[in-house]
Structure 1
Amino acid sequence: MEVICVANQKGGVAKSATTAILASVLTRKGNRVLAIDMDPQGSLSKQVGANINGHEVYDVLKGNISARDAIQAMESFHIIPTSIILAGLEAELMTDMGKYFKLRDAIERAKLTELYDYIIIDTPPSLGVPTVNAIVAANKVLVPTDADCDSINGIIQLNTTIQNVKKYCHVDPQIMGIVFTKFDPRQNNSKDMMSLAMRVPDALNTRVFGTYIRAAVAVREAKSRAKDLVASNPTSNVVLDYSSLAEEMFKEG
């Protein structure tokens, strides 16, 4: 059983798309998959057409409901959605000594690890309470990045946060690896950034996945229509790329 946090401090690196497509790919490989949206922007929830007017992750973290009561069954995988109301959580929990453990405790209380083979957590482009909750709850961290210097810097900052979480929260999430998204191998900048990124894994004790995710209009189209890309366009390059990534990520297990 894996609980995977998808994180990078920089926005626009396809964290939500990675969570949605990877969850769908893993489901179609015969796994039981739950996605949890910890980004107040709700990109993942909107992308898959989840109902954000009912129970959501905010209610779970506040202890108002069980995590099981917030689960919605989507076209392929299940999701605990979110909305902008989550943005106020950090201020509400300011004096709560257990604020970084809310998600982990909710998962444990609801025994979600007994219901699912994979739990994949989408995070915001920041290193605040929602992201730290996701890291604490996870045993693995997947880091999407695009071919941009700011994204590489975001990885370094994320690693610092992960090391602090390990030290002060007494958990041990491991960085699974770095995956290049929206990648165009024909562009020199993409090649240069990948070469730069290859120097990062040694410092982070991780790797850059050999599979990269090609740039594709199909992702934006599926997002705008709230469609499951794996179901609607299973032979698209990006779906094939994420399928290869899933195999590379878990071949050792």
Structure 2
Amino acid sequence: MDHPRAVCTELAQNDDAAKASSSLQTADDVNAISALLLERFKAYLSESDEIEVEARLCTIRGPAKGATCRLVQEKHTVDVGVDRKSFTKVLRYVAERAHDPPVKAKTTDIRDKDVRVTKNHSNGGEVTSVRKIRRAVLDVFVAGSLYDVRFAVSTETPCSPREFPEKKPLEARDKDRTSYCLGNERVDLTTVESRGRVTREVEIEMGKANATDLPHFVENVLRIVEAAG
């Protein structure tokens, strides 16, 4: 991973009330999306720590959204990230449900083909390298919400450290990240600056990629999508 892990905690007990009142998280939505994920990702899900299953809040542009959650198969584009107001809402939602303090980190990432080279400014400038290969992507419209979700499964393999250039490349991504753990999921809230543009990203990652936990993962992702709206 390209950032430190927070110590995982269980969801707060009062989150049951939020779950019951959610307009998005019907059993049909959770089951339908979980089935799609399992169908697309089952070839890659394993007990290996190298498998990463993640969800990013995004806006899908192109086809009509419709009244139900669905896989987007038509031609479309995806804008990853949320606006400042939604970012603050998600931060508050997650912070209220985490029992432990967040883990914060400031890093700079550059790409060398399929290798991500990260310099951690919060850890004495330590440089790490990870080979990340995207295996599958699934874009899902979330009905009745401001944002949609891009689900992805990737392999991440640590590799020999690459040298970080003395002069920061133009395409470098400066990240200011706050990470919380809720149960088996880690939530990363990151402000990214690259090429003079600032974006705010919300990513939810499974702590251990396996088919059994997919419905719980999807349910928590949908809660966060709703909180962002």
Normalised by the shorter chain, which TM-score bucket? under 0.3
Question: What is the TM-score of this pair, normalised by structure 1?
Answer: 0.22
Question: What is the TM-score of this pair, normalised by structure 2?
Answer: 0.24
Which structure has greater strand proportion?
Answer: 2
Which structure has greater helix proportion?
Answer: 1
